[in-house]
Amino acid sequence: MDRRDFLKTGALVAVPALMPRLVFSQSGNTGSSDILIHIFMRGGADGLNMVVPYFDNDYYLNRPTLAIPQPGSSGGALDLDGSFGLHPQLASLQPLFASGDLAIVHASGSPDGSRSHFESQDLMEAGSPGGGLIFDGWINRYLEAAGGQTSSPFQAVSLSQSLPVSLRGEVPALAISSIDAYDLIVPDEEQNGLRQAVLDVYDQGDQVDTTATDVLASVDQLKAADPLSIPVENGAIYPGSSFGRALENLARLIKADLGLEAASVDIGGWDHHDNLGTELPPLCTNFADSLAAFHTDLGQRMEHISVIAMTEFGRRVRENGSLGTDHGYGSVMYAIGGGVRGNQVITQWPGLGTQNLNNGDLEITTDYRSVLSEMLAKRMRVSDLSTVFPEFSGTQDIGLFDPI
Amino acid sequence: MNTPTMNKARQDLGKRLGQSGLGEGLNSIIAGQSSASASTQLPSQTVDSLIHLLGRTSFGVTQDMIMQADVIGESAWLDQQLNPESIDDSDIEELLATAFPSLQMSYAEILGQTEDPEFNPAIDLVISAILRQIFSPKQLFEVMTEFWTNHFNVFLFDGPVEYLKTVDDRENIRPLALGRFSELLHRNARSPAMLYYLDNYSNTVQGPNENYARELMELHTLGVNGGYNEQDVAEVARCFTGWSIDTRTEDLFGFFDITHDTDSKVVLGQGIPAGQGIEDGEQVLDLLAEHPSTASFLASKLCRRFISDTPDQGIIDMIAGRFSETDGDTRLVLETLLTSDAFRSAQGVKFKRPSEYVASVVRSTSAALDNEGRYLRLLFDQLQILGQLPFFSNPPTGYPDQETSWLSSGALLSRWNYALGISYGELPLPSSRNFDNNQNQLLYSDGINVPVLDLIGEARTPAAITDRLIDRILHRPISFDDRKALITHVADGAPNSVPLELEQAVKRGRAAVAAILSSRYFQFR
C-alpha cells in the first residue's frame, strides 16, 4: 500500500495518536550512514575574515582597515593551527575544532566564475558541472543513489518554507519552517471530509499532487512523534535567531527518529559590500553559537551526523571603498561531526599575492565537490558518485572524514 | 529575514491596525463591486480565454471583472488595462492617501520626521502595496508595478531605505510600470534607495564598489549569461563612481566630480572617453538598455511572468524582437505578449505566487474586512509566512517566479491553513504564528470574512451549493470526478439534491469554500 492509499483508507486521523514514536523509525539513520546536514550561507561569506590566514602578510596589505589582527592582539583571531585563526566572534566553534569534531577546508568553492549569487548558488546546489543541464539537487540525487525513496516522508527535510535547489528532485522532500506550525488547522468535524476532498482533487500526479499527499501524511506523523515534547539536552542554548531556531527544530526531528536522512538549513545575510567590520561579527556569533548548540544538544548522536556549511563564493581579497568586500571566488567550508577528522585546516594555500589571485580573488584549490564526495563516500557509503556530481573527476579524498 | 527587523515591522504594523475608516472604506469598495455584479445575470458558460486573460493580468479574478469585461469585450478590456490612466482608481487611492499621509510626502518631508517613532512610512508602503493588489481596479498596472519593483529589487529595511523607498515607488516605479524601460533604468540608477541598497553611493575612484555595476548587468539588464565579463563589471563600476546620494537636492541624487574616475573605460567593447563626468554612467545605461541581451532577458522574464515557467524560445524571441523595435515600450510589448497564441494556449499552468494566492482568496470571495484592522495583520502574516511580503526580498535577485521556488509541503500547508481560517473563521492559530504573544491574536482569522450567504445565493442543496461556489470562485467548470468529490464533502452524508435548512446550507457553504480555495484548481492561474 503506498502512502496515498494509506491516507485514503480514512484511518489517518485515528492512527497517529495510537502509534508510538518509534514505529516511524525507518532506514537511513540506523547507523549504516550518517545523517547529512547541509547548511548554506547565502550571500557569499567572507572566508578570509572568518578563518583568517594570519600568517600571510598579503592579507594584511589588502585589508588595511578590515583585517582581523593576529592572535594575541586585541580583537585578534583565535589561533587554530599556527597559520589560521577563527574570527573572534566564532569563538564557540573553537572547542569543536580542538576536540576533533570540526575541520575547515580553506580556499575551497565552486569553479563557476560568475560571481553571481543566483548562478553560483544554483550550480552548487545542483552539483552541476555547468551548461544548464541539471535542474535537481545533489542531495536529492545522493538519496536516489543510496536507494531512493524510503517509506518515511521525513527522509529529506528543509527547515524553511521553500525547498532549496539541493533538495529538489525525484525523492520527495519536505519543507518545514517550524514544527509547531506544521499542522492542518481545520475544525475537528471537518477533518476527514476535507482531507478526502483534497486527496481526491489533487490526483493528477504532478508535483503539486504528490506534495499535497505528502503534507497530509507528514502532518499526522509529526503530530504522533510530538518532537516538541523532546527536550533540548546537555545544557545546550540555541540563539533566538531564525538559524538557531531552525537548528533546534532540526535537532528535534533527528531525535524523534522520523527517518531523516538529509536536511538543509539556510543562513543568509553574508553579502557584506559595506560595513563588514560591524555586520559580520553578529552574524558570526549567530552562526557559531547556533552550530555549537546543535552539536551540544545532539551529544552522542553527532557520531552519525555530518554537517557541511558552505557558501556560494568568497569575497574579494582587497577591501572596497565602503569598508566591505565585493564578490569574490574561493572561500571556506566547515565540516562538523563525529566522523570528521577535526582539528585541522585543510588547504593548499594559493597565496594572496597579486600573481596568485583569480581576478583579484582567493583562488580555489579544493573543489566543493571533493569535500562533498568524500563525505558521501566515507560517511554515507555511496560507492558511485557519478550521478550525484556528473562530470566531476577531481579527488574524492582530501582526508576530511574517517570511514564510517 | 533577521528577527529584529521583522519584529520592528510588525510593531509598526500594530500601530496601523486602529486606522479608522480604512476597513469600512475597503468594504464599501467590495460592496460596490458585488452589487454591480449581482444585478446582471452572468452568461452561463463564460469564455475560457477571457477568464485566462483576467487571471493572468490581475491578482485574482472577481465576478465584477468578468461582468465588466463581458460587457465591453475581451480586447477592449485589455486595452483599458493597458491604459490604466483611463481607469478610475480614486476609491482606493483616496482611502490610502487619507490613511497613510506618508505616501504623498517628499524626501524632505519624510527625512524631517525620522526621529519620530510614530512615523513609519515603510509599513505604510507595505500595507498600500498589499491593498492595491487586492483592491485597485488597475489590476494589470499593479501586476506590472510588482514586476518592476521585483526586477529592481530593493530591500526595504536595509539602512535608510525605509525612508527612501516611498518616493522611489511613487515617482519612479509606478509612473513607468507600463512605460519605457530605458527611462525606468535611468531613474532607477539615480534613485537613492537603489544607490544605497547596492552601495553605489560609496562607489568612488578612491575605493570602487562594484555591487551596483554587477547587479545592473546581471539582474537589471543583460542577464547572467548576457555577455559581460569580470572586466566589464570593474569598468562599469568605474563609470558609476561619483553617483551618490546628496541630501541637499530635491531627489537626493548627486553626482560628485571629485570622486568620479575620469580616465577612459571600455564597457562591452565600447570605448568611453577620458575626461567625462556623469555622462559615463548615462552612456552605460543607454548601451545596456539597447543591448540585445537586455531585450532577450526581459522578454524571458515577461514570458515567465505571463505565460509559463518554461516558455518556448519562439515566443521569447518574438517578445524580445518587439521589445527592441518598440525601444522597450512595456505597454506595446505586453500587448503583443497578451494577444499571442503562446499566451492563449497556456491556460492554468502558472502556480500562483504567494502574493497572488493571498490576494485572490480575498478577491474571489468578495470577503469582508473587520473594522479593527485584524485583516491587515492577517494579510501581512500570510505573506510573511509564505515568503512574499512586498519589498522584503533581502537579496537583489528579488522574488522568484516559478513553481519550484514556491511549491513545497510547508508552503502548501500554509496556503491551506490561510484558506481554511478565512472560510471557517475563528480557527486557532499555531502558537508560533502568534507572533505577538497575545492571546487575542490567536483567533484573528476572522479579520477577513467570507460572505457565504451572498455567495451561495439561492442555492440550498449540496450539489447546487457546490456548483454555485465553483462558478463564483473558480469561474470555470471542473472535472466530473472532482465535482463529485467536492459535493460528497459538502453533503457530509446528506443527500446531494435535497435542500438544506438555511443555517446548514451556510455551514456546508463554508466547507465548500474551504475545499475550493484549498483545491488544486485555486493554486494555479
Tell me: the pLDDT tens digits for A146-196? 999 999 999 999 999 899 999 999 999 999 998 988 999 898 899 999 999
- A240 CB contacts (<8 Å, ≥6 apart)? B3
**Residue B476 domain flag:** yes
Total domains in the fold of chain B: 1
| Residue-level pLDDT at A31 | 53
Host domain of residue B503? 351-523
CA-nearest residue to A186 within chain B is B420
Q: Does A196 touch chain B (CB under 8 A)?
A: yes
Give the residue from B104, B92, B70, B120 showing the smallest Cα distance to B22.
B92
Residues 311-370 of A with CB under 8 A from B: 320-322, 324, 326-327, 359
Distance CA B305, CA B402 (A): 8
Angle formed by the axes of helices B74-82 and B63-72, nearest 10°? 110
Give the residue from B136, B175, B156 showing the smallest Cα distance to B57.
B136
Tell me: the pLDDT tens digits for B385-433? 899 999 999 899 999 999 999 999 999 999 999 999 899 986 665 544 4
Distance CA B488, CA B7 (A): 44
**Residue of A183, A273, A311, A313 to mutate when probing chain B, most B C-beta within 10 A:** A273
| Residue-level pLDDT at B438 | 44
| Residue-level pLDDT at B37 | 56
The pLDDT mean for chain B works out to 92
Q: Which residue spans within B205-324 are E strands per DSSP?
A: 243-245, 253-255, 265-267, 270-272
Residues 227-286 of A with CB under 8 A from B: 240-242, 268-269, 271, 273-274
**Residue A255 domain flag:** yes
The answer to whether residues B165 and B125 touch, using CB atoms and an 8 Å cutoff, is yes
| Residue-level pLDDT at A7 | 36
| Residue-level pLDDT at B74 | 93
Verify whether the Cβ–Cβ distance A190 to B511 is below 8 Å: yes
**Residue B409 domain flag:** yes
DSSP for B245-263 reads E-TTSTT-EEE-GGGS--S
Host domain of residue A19? 3-379
Cα of B465 vs its chain's centroid, Å: 32
CATH of the domain at A68: 3.40.720
DSSP, res A42:
T
Provide mean pLDDT across the span B318-329. 98
The most distant pair of C-alpha atoms in chain A lies apart, rounded to whole Å, by 72
| Residue-level pLDDT at B436 | 46
**Residue A88 domain flag:** yes
Provide mean pLDDT across the span A89-97. 98
**Residue of B386, B408, B442 to mutate when probing chain A, most A C-beta within 10 A:** B408
Q: Does A1 touch chain B (CB under 8 A)?
A: no
pLDDT band of B445, cuts 50, 70, 90: low
| Residue-level pLDDT at A129 | 84
Percentage of the residues of chain B whose pLDDT score is greater than 70: 93
B519 vs A contacts (CB less than 8 Å): 197-198, 201-202
The most distant pair of C-alpha atoms in chain B lies apart, rounded to whole Å, by 85
A271 vs B contacts (CB less than 8 Å): 395
**Residue B287 domain flag:** no
| Residue-level pLDDT at B7 | 83
| Residue-level pLDDT at A26 | 42
Q: Number of Cβ pairs closer than 8 Å across A and B?
A: 186
Distance CA A177, CA A168 (A): 16
Q: Does A44 touch chain B (CB under 8 A)?
A: no
Which is more confidently placed, A202 or B370?
A: A202
Tell me: the pLDDT tens digits for B461-489? 999 999 999 999 999 899 999 999 999 99
Q: Answer whether residue B380 shows pLDDT above 80.
A: yes
Q: pTM score, two decimals?
A: 0.91
Total domains in the fold of chain A: 1
Verify whether the Cβ–Cβ distance A193 to B489 is below 8 Å: yes
**Residue B192 domain flag:** no
**Residue A392 domain flag:** no
Q: Which residue has the cell 519589498?
A: B391
A212 vs B contacts (CB less than 8 Å): 412, 520
Cα of B18 vs its chain's centroid, Å: 25
pLDDT band of B189, cuts 50, 70, 90: very high
pLDDT band of B370, cuts 50, 70, 90: confident
Nearest chain A Cα distance for residue B369, angstroms = 21
**Residue A323 domain flag:** yes
Nearest chain B Cα distance for residue A8, angstroms = 13
**Residue A291 domain flag:** yes
**Residue A164 domain flag:** yes
Angle formed by the axes of helices A207-225 and B409-424, nearest 10°? 80
Residues 53-92 of A with CB under 8 A from B: none
Distance CA B352, CA B305 (A): 10
**Residue A251 domain flag:** yes
Nearest chain B Cα distance for residue A296, angstroms = 24
